[in-house]
Chains A and B, each alone.
Chain A
Amino acid sequence: MGFKNYCFRKSLWVFHFGGASCNNCDIEILDCLTPRHDLERFGILLVGSIRHADLLLVNGSINKHDRERLVEIYKQAPKPILVVAIGACGCTGGIFADSITFAGPVDKVIPVDAYIPGCPPKPEAIIAGIVKLVNKRR
């Protein structure tokens, strides 16, 4: 295990970027942190600044207005950073892929490490996806 992967073993700090979404994925992400699922007991914490984060969660389709901001946020992130695209929108554009303001799914804008499909994915699915990602890095 390299030093980089060693860093991802515990207490992932998460920054959440909501693109042009319908809000459901955002709510389900927050739901993971509340008492039923309670991810905080594993040290997973939602942080307010990308500069503190190990993991960037991106949900929602990316529109022309968001695109540059997402690139900017990715540039500011301390590397290495794991990027997870959440929801049908994040993975492919979903129902909004034909929209006139659509500027590509997340992986057209920044490199993505894992995809969690679903509209919205259940909190269980989000947790399972992140666990898989972290285990793969071991």
Chain B
Amino acid sequence: MSRKTLIPIGPYHPLQEEPELFKLYCDGEIVKDIQWVTGYNHRSIEKLSESKTYEQVFFLVERICGICSTSHPFAFANAVEEIAGIEITDRTKYIRSIIGELERIHSHLLWVGLAGHFLGYNTVFMWAWKYREPVLDLFEMITGNRNSYAMFRVGGVRRDIENHKIAEIRRVLGEVKSKTDLLTGAVMDDPVIHARTKGVGVLTRQDVIDYGAVGPTARASGVAIDVRKDDPYAAYPLVDWKVITSEAGDVFAKAEVRLLEMYESISIIEQCLKGLEKEKEGEINVKVTEIPEGMGNGRAEAPRGEVFHFVVSDGSNSPARHKIRAPSYVNIATFKKSCIGQTIADATITLAGVDPCYCCTERLAVVCDAHSGEKLMNAKELIERSAVRTASLNKEFNCNK
């Protein structure tokens, strides 16, 4: 019988900034099984959201994930607008799409950089992050902050993109495009990157369907799934663009899909800017007086895949229930298919290949006895519980006197 070695990665490790724990069960160099543990990042957002008003929830959902800090407000706005039956103005649609696509560009550049870093190819890391800076500058110009833009509200956006800013946006986009050309050339033609990523972490079309993977992870395996096309929202039906897919399903294909998607994003933004010029400045809000009772689904295509928000309203000014599902939640499960059978060195880039985002995915786990269903407690919790019990007994029998 062969013996398996357990190699833990994390929870605080230099590979990824977020805390998460991977347990790789290895036989020699080969990964035989994998488990992942999260919860280090749990902030009980769904619960917090019920204590905030609809306007405040936007600031909260923006802070689910810093990298896709527009997708969550986007999906939440879609959900609430579905409940209230609000039709937003065309100018709002364009502005929302522009912000969403700028975010996709900066997120994909970030991923390309990190992927380079995981391969030990730090030049790509430094390049990609350098070329990402102009996009963040654009955000700062439009919204006042580099990340967490606070652009969305029910029925509109908080700030206009005034027409005099359009020229600057075009200039930066041109710059980003030429830099993306350079990066794409460097990545696609590099023999080292080919050797490290081709045929690594392959997900077949069937795996993607079985695990319900979304976003670039699915599109790299030839499944053309994209909320922007399948369930159009904002300005996406008004502009012309195509869904990028690739067939191979390995890490290289995932990189390819993301790099080519950046060109689509640039073209979407350019078309939106044209649309913006035709609309009247300042028409960015519709008046919302109340959110009626009801339920709403909101979906948005984040850089990593489909974000889904489900909101129940009881007619008051805050959500009665708010359910969130982020794309990484389903994408991370595909590790079971893609990592097993790889060498340990390849497992790291495979883990990074789906662009996992743990702060979106966090769930709270309560450990229960499988037979009785009783909650299991650790020593600290038992001591706390005993302290509470003692205090209440003391009170009951007036022992303190």
Contact = CB atoms under 8 A, between A and B. Distances in A.
B67 interface: yes
Contacts of A35: 126, 129-130
Contacts of B315: none
Nearest to B39: A65
A69 B130 contact: no
A36 B47 CA distance: 39
A96 B17 contact: no
Interface stretch (B57-65, B161-169, B189-197): B57-65
A101 interface: yes
Interface in A2-35: 16-31, 34-35
Contacts of B11: 69
Interface in B50-83: 51, 59-60, 63-67, 69
**Which applies to chain B's interface (DSSP): helix, strand, loop or mixed?**
loop
Contacts of B364: 101
Contact of B129 (A18, A34, A66): A34
B66 A22 contact: yes
B147 A69 contact: no
B41 interface: yes
B197 to A, nearest CB: 22
B12 interface: yes
Given A65-B40, A101-B364, A22 B17 contact: no
Interface string A78-110: 000000000000000001101111100000000
A16 B19 CA distance: 11
Nearest to A100: B44
Interface string A45-70: 01110000000000011010110010
User: Which secondary structure characterizes the binding site on chain A?
Assistant: mixed
A119 interface: yes
Interface string B356-375: 01010010100000000000
B14 interface: yes
Nearest to B137: A36
Interface residues of A, number: 39
B78 to A, nearest CB: 21
A63 B17 contact: no
A117 interface: no
B110 interface: yes
Interface in B289-319: none
A21 B130 contact: no
B42 interface: yes
A1 to B, nearest CB: 31
Given A17-B12, A96-B48, A122-B146, A26 B43 contact: no
B13 A69 contact: no
A34 B126 contact: yes
Given A24-B147, A101-B44, 5 more contacts: A21-B41, A23-B65, A47-B14, A69-B12, A99-B47
24 contacts: A16-B17, A17-B12, A18-B19, A19-B40, A21-B66, A22-B148, A23-B18, A23-B357, A24-B63, A26-B18, A27-B110, A29-B17, A60-B41, A63-B40, A69-B11, A73-B12, A96-B43, A98-B51, A99-B43, A99-B44, A101-B44, A119-B63, A120-B66, A120-B146
Interface of B: 11-14, 17-19, 39-45, 47-48, 51, 59-60, 63-67, 69, 110, 113, 125-126, 129-130, 133, 146-148, 357, 359, 362, 364
